[in-house]
Structure 1
Amino acid sequence: MTPDTGTVGFLGLGAMGLPMAVNLARAGFDVLAWNRGRSPLEAAAAAGCRIADSPEQVAAAAPVVLTMLPDLPQVIALLDGPGGLRSGRPVMDTLVVMGTVSPVAVRILAEKLRPQGITVVDAPVSGGVTGARDATLSIMAGGPAEAVARIRPCLEAMGSTVRRLGDTGAGSLAKACNQLVVAGTLVALAEAVLLGERGGLEPAALLDVLAGGLASSEVLAQKRHHLAEGDFTPSGPARYLHKDLGFVLDSAADEGVTLPLSTTVAGLYAAVEAQGLGDLDNSVVLDLLRGSSPDSPHLTKD
């Protein structure tokens, strides 16, 4: 699919989805977008997207429909609900799931939709809001080779790294591995800050030193401000990482693999969620380790 071969549907214009849809339009694609809230639709229209009144309208015009939604239940609700993607007379034949979802569940969805003539490609992304804005996302695709090849131009309009990892579910498994590394690194950084500050080190100075050596990482670069200043205004809510770590453990159980670090880190993010901190930045695990309560002066809630 190229900019001159048809309409591309896009559902879900959140913090990631809106800039992704905008980048598709800027690359010349005819983007027909839908979102439950009105404000992002106005922003998308101003950037060159066309606006649909319902998912049904998207599927009636676009053979390829991309979704950027929090989890698979939201995708399924838009498939089967009133005015959904499968209502009316859809021309949609390829559904691209770009949110972070369960590898096991997306394979089941693909098996369910295949007899109905719909191919499911899972293509989760990594790179955060910055990568979505700059079209530098890393996109991990899973699905039939011909289906991934067909949508590759769309994916390349949103990301600088696009890789097919295997059949449907493989992209989501790769994203689970990605989230394992992100969460493990965040916890390691939080523990380093805690250990350092208890020994009299300034968190900002410690993180500068770590960033200049082998401990440097993209996680450290993006989360340095949060960890150094205790400002947990969300750039990536902790509740999403908690969800994603559940997919890590589910996949480990499905594959018969024991992951001690993942189990520990998942327990920490479950505690973050249980303490009511899930809407704060995922680096708030530092405050959990400090033993802070939700009304800690370290937390920035507004």
Structure 2
Amino acid sequence: MKTFKGRTAVITGAASGFGLETSRIGARLGMNIVMADVQQDALDTAAAEIRGLGAAVLPFRLDVSKAAEVEALGAAAFARFGAPHFVFNNAGVGAGGLIWETTLKDWEWVVGVNLMGVAHGIRVFTPMMLEAAKQDPTYEGHITNTASMAGLLNAPNMGVYNATKSAVVAMSETLYQDLRLVTDQISASLLCPFFVPTGITKSDRNRPAEMTDTGRKLTRSQLIGQAMSDKAVSSGKVSAAEVAQFVFDAIAERRFYVYSHPKSLGSVQVRLEDIMTPRNPTDPFAHKPELGEKLRAQLREAD
């Protein structure tokens, strides 16, 4: 897709991070912006900013894990602007800790947002875009899903997050191939960011009450995982604005894989070699053994 002016973008997680930066770029390119987010106050502020850039904006408060709410988003977006040209299934939440310490509500919340949120976006918007392509031979569309390098690496102490992001990788690769079977007018890409300063480590601020284990304290592994994520994300050198530009570059080039930190692909290659050899999974801390020793010592510390 080469032309953006006058076209419509639907962006989930639009009030912060990659979603907000993508909204800013889309507005500067002359797009209509449908901004969806779970946090109403942040959404109101973000929508006002994007309107200030001259864009026509439709803000929509929703929880992407809820099928009916994503369906309502699709209906509202279509009623206002018609079929979108760019759909960014971007909303996500973070959670860590030893995988057996992940509670049922943890699983339901993270799977609901990270996995089903993307599934709902694909299910609701792809048929709408295919119909637009059928009616107009000049129509161009693109769907980008946000996964993570966690979906390619499966680092320890991040089980539920890894599982959902691995699933988004699989869904997105399948979406790309399925679209190629039926149309030349719509394509897809997969965003796999590494550590980028966003609000992902503060995901609990938007956790619904019904997805919270009342009175439960975080386990040691979860506290350690939170601290490690906070440090890694806050010290990231690549900005969310840069990643958003990478997304638009990939759309223009019809490029599927979008990475914030291409150098991290060396670790992906090691993992694939583990699978192909086959050999047991390589120690993820082999290049920085002191970090692995510190984590093991913290987790094995007596209560």
Give TM-score, length-normalised by structure 2.
Answer: 0.46
Relative contact order (C-alpha < 8 Å, sep 6+): which is higher? Answer: 2
Give TM-score, length-normalised by structure 1.
Answer: 0.46
